[in-house]
A and B are shown apart, each in its own frame.
Chain A
Amino acid sequence: MYIYLPIAEQPINAFIVLGIGWLVGIIMGMVGIGGGFLLTPLMIFFGIPSPVAVASVANQLVAPSVSGVLSHWKSGNVDFKMGTILLVGGVIGSSIGVLIFNILNAIGQLDLVIKLSYVIFLAIIGSLMFIESLKLIIQTKRGKATRGKLHQHNWLHGLPFKTRFRKSKLYISIILPLIIGIIVGILAALMGIGGGFIIVPAMIYLLGMPTSLVIGTSLFQIIFVAANTTILQASQNQTVDIVLALILLIGSVIGVQIGSKFSNFMKGEHLRLFLSFIILLVGFKLILDLVTIPLDIFSISIIQ
């Protein structure tokens, strides 16, 4: 069944998009992160213009994040204080991100920057995840799974404006989560992602938060970052395709629920290994598109 997308101005096969949303949702539910950074490139491969893909995926991200936060909240796995500081940074960051987005759009290099940022992030995250999960699997097989310190003290803990995060059992400076929030916000606006795959490792390794709180708290801040991005993209660039977002989010919210039930039966490191494969594959396809000689070195676009 084809549905005409009013903003992207093209018809799209609704069942395929629904299916993609659903599959990505399952991955999101199983691993706890991802979604945006897989959905946006997939939509670009599908022929949706990059600016529309980025803005619409940001829109759809609100739904699985809300759904996820509600589940984690019930289990008491959200640090609202930390989340609030992260989201303040996130809202500032996403506003900056939309501004950068507009500048790049005006000089005609937006498409390239979106694709390049994806290549870089997918390559880094994909290979880190691959190595990390492979190490864990080998260690468990040898039967000497070692656990490191909860977190290490370094210069980051010497920053001013220290405050106590009771839930996370931390006493750290608010500057650090604020900066993390800003960086993730910029990326969210520029790439159409929630930033879970950046913020989750940052929370564990930089802030030293307990792993159990990380996913719920990151989802909490993603809601606000994605919402802010959506409103800014819609009002400044008119690039949010609500129909595309709706099809994607219906698929993904169902997928997330199924995926999170699945995750109880599968080992985390195997899931991560699997996800790292997908990430590297998507990144590889994007690199290929950038370095191979185009069929036609000239391209056209209708402008207002």
Chain B
Amino acid sequence: MRTLIKKILLIIIIALNSFTVFAKDNLVTDLSESTVEISSTFSGADILLFGAYDGQKNDDIIVVVSGQKGNIKVDKKEKKFGIWMITESVKFSNVPKYYYIASNRKIEEITNKSEIKKRKLDFNNFELKNNKIDYKNLDKKWYEALKRNMKKKQFWKIEENSIKLNKNTLFRKTLSLPSNVSTGMYDVKILHYRKGNLISQEESKIKIDKTGISANIYNVAQNFSAIYGIIAVIVALFFGWFTNFIFRRI
């Protein structure tokens, strides 16, 4: 499988390579897969992003993958009666549940601060809301805690110096999605910089969806929850009776 993918990739790269000769100022990219299916044996996925660009010496490539937005609750624990318990919580909404940034060198060296802010090339420029009215006065530690924990769970990740550029025309990057990734549409943005200015960009999408038995179980549990509960009990009853039946004969 691996070698086959590599072979196909090589052919594509060669094709793209000859293509770029004709298509000046262009950025051409593709993904090895555009859908990721969370089946019952899912344990994370690797997607290969590859592309060709019409580059010059010292050009840069930045890749940003962003998932769907959702609500995240940050809990703070304090020691009370000798036990660590949750004493305060802040709910953030409009939080990207997945955000991944990769580049060929340090982003600060690639472009300026206003561009970083505009394109959201770090984790400090999301338009978040929270349930505390005085957002402006909200202690910074809450956002820092959110950032730290999202990074720890690999939901937010930055890998500078991880994209290898080849002869100013080719690049490739493996996007590793963690096993606990949430479902939805993911945006993949590929940005091509020259001397700090964005000269071309490409966008594609990855669809992450539950499939097979795993998806069916989830759907039944959500939509027909009482029936699901009864089925769960019947399955357990059956197995209880069945083992008794088997072991009585042995």
Contacts and interface: CB of A to CB of B under 8 A. Distances in A.
A106 interface: no
A189 B145 CA distance: 33
Contacts, number: 189
B244 A300 contact: no
Given A11-B42, A227-B233, A298-B149, A235 B226 contact: yes
Nearest to B231: A242
A234 B225 CA distance: 6
B84 A299 contact: no
Given A242-B232, A298-B145, A301-B72, A2 B210 contact: no
B76 A298 contact: yes
B228 interface: yes
A231 interface: yes
A304 interface: yes
A10, A64, A303: residue with the most chain B Cβ atoms closer than 10 Å: A303
A297 B91 contact: no
- Which of B42, B221, B241 has the most chain A CB atoms closer than 10 A to its own CB? B221
Contact of B148 (A60, A232, A298, A303): A298
B229 A231 contact: yes
Contacts of A226: 236
B74 interface: yes
Interface centre among A10, A67, A254, A301 (most CB of B within 10 A): A67
A183 to B, nearest CB: 22
A294 B240 contact: no
Interface residues of B, number: 62
Contacts of A292: 84
A243 B217 contact: yes
Given A6-B214, A66-B244, A242-B235, A302 B71 contact: yes
A10 B72 contact: no
A253 interface: yes
B221 A245 contact: no
A240 to B, nearest CB: 5
A300 B73 contact: yes
B43 interface: yes
Contact of A243 (B40, B44, B83, B215): B40
Interface in A84-121: 108-109, 112, 116
A59 B228 CA distance: 11
B197 interface: no
A238 B233 contact: no
Interface in B82-108: 82-86, 89, 91, 97
Q: Interface of chain A, helix or strand or loop or mixed? A: helix
B247 A230 contact: no
A289 to B, nearest CB: 9
B182 interface: yes
Given A4-B39, A230-B229, A296-B148, A242 B240 contact: no
B184 interface: no
A233 interface: yes
Contacts of A243: 40, 214, 217
A62 interface: yes
A66 B236 contact: yes
Interface string B235-247: 1110111011001
A303 B73 contact: yes
Given A67-B241, A299-B149, A108 B86 contact: yes
Nearest to B141: A298
A120 B194 CA distance: 64
A3 B132 CA distance: 40
Nearest to B144: A298
Interface in A16-34: none
B244 A67 contact: yes
B48 interface: no
A216 B136 CA distance: 63
Contacts of A206: none
Contacts of B75: 108, 298-301
Nearest to A253: B243
A293 B84 contact: yes
B232 A300 contact: no
Given A240-B221, A242-B235, A2 B182 contact: no
B40 A67 contact: no
Contact of B236 (A108, A238, A249, A293): A249
Contact of A240 (B70, B232, B243): B232
In the A-B complex, the 3 residue pairs with the smallest Cβ-Cβ separation, listed nearest first, are: A66-B240, A234-B229, A298-B145
24 contacts: A1-B41, A2-B41, A4-B41, A4-B214, A6-B221, A11-B43, A63-B236, A67-B241, A227-B237, A240-B228, A250-B239, A291-B82, A293-B84, A297-B78, A298-B145, A299-B77, A300-B72, A300-B153, A302-B71, A302-B72, A302-B73, A302-B182, A303-B70, A303-B73
